[in-house]
Amino acid sequence: MFRVITSFVLILVLLFSAMHFFKTMASGRPEVQQREITETVYNVDAFEVQPVTFTELLTAFGTSVADREVVVAAQVSGEVVEIHPSLKVGQAVSAGAAIGADGGTNQPISGDLLLKIDQRDFQQRVEQTKASIAGIQTEIEQLSQQKMNAERQLALARQDLQTLQDDYDRVKTLRDRGAGLATDLTRSLLELRRYQDTIVQLENQISLHPHQLEAARQRLTAAEADLKRANNDLLRTEVVPPFSGVLSEVMVEQGQYVRNGEPLVRIVDSSRIEIPVSLGLEDYLLIQDAVESGHPPEAWLAENETAPARWKGYVVRVSPTADASSRTIEVFIEVINSDQDTPLLPGTFVFARINGPRFDNALIIPRESIVEDTVFVVNNSSDKGIGHAEKKHLKTGRRLQSLVVVHEGLKAGDRVVMTNLDVIQSGTGILPQQTISPMDEIQRIRVPVIQMPD
């Protein structure tokens, strides 16, 4: 019992000692001081909204082709007996020209002779046809002379027939009176019949003359056509360029036997180059009126999408149908090489920038600053430059790579927040560190889609 009481007393002593210790410790702690709550300010980059005048460039790409390219083929068969001394790829050839001769007629000047095919057989065919024509012409002259002779003979025969008729009538009268001989009457009748037959033959000969003459003239016409064909074949033995250009392929050698239709050379006229490119429907509608009204938009071409423009052309034609698979419309850019510092070669892959609509005093901002059609602008800046974020709703238009055209919601002079958009809300304190201008942002665009006025 004594031990239980002693244990209880010791426990109470320990409890009171612990309470006294903690009370002493608590009384010795310093008093907690209240601190003033400060606003969090975020450092941001801002974009200063300024009106900008520019032309939108519609981008596309394509491969250039020559406006005229032809494979010259043999039009007659034979052995190649002569070729141009410089019949090689890259050689410029001329098709000649036409000059005004006396009397106001145009006389052709022959161009470069590319090659010549053996002419002997064709010359013989020409001479043979000429001889045939001469024979038919002689035949026509003979027919005319025969007609004249037959007409004279007919006139004489008719006179003789009348004399014989009178003689026959006289003999018959005597015979009827019993004074003449029967043999005299028979002889007179036979002579009369013979002249009548002669007259019939002469009349038939004269009546057939127009048909014989027409047949001869038809043969003459056919022979003259054969002569033209023979002369054409003879001319075709000398192969000349159909137009001035440059040889891009040579497929023949001297001594080679070529057949009608066999390709000989390929000629390219690179004075006018065409580049077919595909535009989306939205982009095409921006230039449709200009193309259809006869005011072709300018197009700037470069060897890659970031290089400065090297060639200038115009959109001159539009495909009448759209490509259903790619949902694009093909337009054709024409480049006149004589107007270029460096000629554009056929087969060159180029990037095109076509002049689109013009924007006057437009407001543009970076796309990265827009979140769900809203932006934050810097508002109420203090002397230290600290301001607050204000949310504004936008109505936007065309997207120009990293830039967007703003129609409503901003005004010139607004500073749009570009960074820390994930933590900024309306009223958040912000301190602009760097202010970017529209020209700074335009110069950062990798692929040119904006053309500034000169």
Distance of CA 16 to the CA centre of its chain: 107
Look at residue 254 in the predicted model and tell me its pLDDT: 94
* Residue 296 structural domain: 59-64+269-358
Lowest mean pLDDT among 97-106, 255-264, 330-339: 97-106
| 133 lies in the same domain as 221 | yes
| 114 lies in the same domain as 252 | yes
Determine what percent of the chain is predicted with pLDDT higher than 90: 57
| 221 lies in the same domain as 125 | yes
Question: Distances from the Cα of 418 to the Cαs of 6, 44, 415, in angstroms?
Answer: 78, 7, 9
Count of domains forming the chain: 4
In a domain, 21, yes or no: no
> In this structure, how many other beta carbons lie within 10 angstroms of the beta carbon of residue 115?
24
Segment 296-318 shows an average pLDDT of 94
| 138 lies in the same domain as 160 | yes
Residues 242/72, Cβ–Cβ less than 8 Å? yes
Least Cα distance to 130 among 234, 224, 235 occurs for: 224
| 112 lies in the same domain as 131 | no
| pLDDT classification of 287: cutoffs 50, 70, 90 | very high
222-243 burial code (b ≥16 CB/10 A, e <16):
ebeebbeebeebbebbebbbee
Domain end (from 226, 256, 279): 226
Query: Is the per-residue pLDDT at 187 higher than 90?
Result: no
| 377 lies in the same domain as 439 | yes
For the entire predicted model, the pTM comes to 0.68
| 374 lies in the same domain as 338 | no
Domain end (from 226, 256, 282): 226
pLDDT tens by residue, 241-263: 999 999 999 999 999 999 999 99
In a domain, 282, yes or no: yes
| 324 lies in the same domain as 369 | no
Query: Is the per-residue pLDDT at 184 higher than 70?
Result: no
Q: How much is the mean pLDDT over the chain?
A: 86
Query: Is the per-residue pLDDT at 60 higher than 90?
Result: yes
Query: Is the per-residue pLDDT at 338 higher than 50?
Result: yes
Domain end (from 297, 329, 358): 358
pLDDT tens by residue, 385-409: 788 999 999 999 999 988 999 999 9
Segment 73-91 shows an average pLDDT of 94
- Which CATH number covers residue 310? 2.40.30.170
Segment 73-81 shows an average pLDDT of 96
Segment 75-89 shows an average pLDDT of 94
Query: Is the per-residue pLDDT at 99 higher than 50?
Result: no
In a domain, 372, yes or no: yes
Segment 11-38 shows an average pLDDT of 62
Which is more confidently placed, 172 or 433?
433
In a domain, 35, yes or no: no
In a domain, 7, yes or no: no
Look at residue 31 in the predicted model and tell me its pLDDT: 55
- Which CATH number covers residue 371? 2.40.420.20
pLDDT tens by residue, 195-230: 777 777 877 777 788 888 889 889 999 999 999 999
| 312 lies in the same domain as 177 | no
* 191, two tokens: 């002579």
In a domain, 9, yes or no: no
In a domain, 146, yes or no: yes
Residues 190/142, Cβ–Cβ less than 8 Å? no
Query: Is the per-residue pLDDT at 82 higher than 50?
Result: yes
**Residue 311: which residues within 8 A CB-CB, separation 6 or more?**
300, 301, 302, 335, 340, 342, 344, 350
pLDDT tens by residue, 124-165: 999 999 999 999 999 888 888 888 877 787 777 777 767 777
| 364 lies in the same domain as 387 | yes
Residues in the chain: 454
| 283 lies in the same domain as 424 | no
In a domain, 276, yes or no: yes
| 351 lies in the same domain as 363 | no
| pLDDT classification of 3: cutoffs 50, 70, 90 | low
